[in-house]
Amino acid sequence: MEMASIDGIHIHIVYSSPGVKGRVIWGGLVPFDQLWVTGAHHATKISFNKDVLINGQKLKAGEYAFFTIPGKKHWTLIFNKRVNQHLADDYQQKEDALRLEVIPVQLPGTVQRLTYRIRKDEGKGGTVSMQWEKINISFKILSNKNH
């Protein structure tokens, strides 16, 4: 679990943290171009107590299942309204509240366990990141009231 308050926004992330354990993660354990729970077993849950902007796109306050579609060059981030989902079995795209693309960043070292981090940025807002193996994906959060 990871949580923080940034500019009055309480962000709460509940997730499973699988380990690398010598496995090929990207394109192996986690296939490219397929929906992933961005954790293990159950979809990661992320909640916001206020309306937010995620990379500039509006998302209402509430709790969401957080899925991704990892790609070699781009990842799709998905905030889905149906919170309690096991793997991707019950996922339905029509229940998506927001989808956006980000570019994964290669890390210099290996992160052995999947880890989410929330950090306040200089000025307004913050950044949520997920790191595992040698990949980092992240998105910026701002209060929707500022825009």
Looking at per-residue confidence, does 147 or 86 come out higher?
86
Taking all residues of the chain, what is their mean pLDDT, rounded to a whole number?
96
Cβ atoms of 133 and 17 within 8 Å: the answer is: no
Task: Give per-residue pLDDT as tens, 39-48.
Answer: 998 999 999 9
118 Cβ neighbours under 8 A, 6+ residues apart: 2, 3, 4, 6, 11, 13, 126, 127, 128
Q: Is 36 exposed, middle or buried (0-12, 13-18, 19+ CB in 10 A)?
A: buried
Q: Using a pLDDT cut of 90, give the percent of the chain over it.
A: 93
pLDDT of residue 145 exceeding 90, the answer is: no
pLDDT digit string, tens, across residues 72-95: 999 999 999 999 998 888 899 999
Q: What is the domain partition of the chain in residue ranges?
A: 2-146
Give residue 7's pLDDT.
Answer: 93
The per-residue pLDDT for range 118-132, each reduced to its tens digit, is 999 998 999 999 999
Q: Is 123 in contact with 134 (CB distance < 8 Å)?
A: no
Amino acid 123: pLDDT: 86
pLDDT at residue 146 in the model: 53
pTM over 0.75: yes
pLDDT exceeds cutoff 70 at 23 = yes
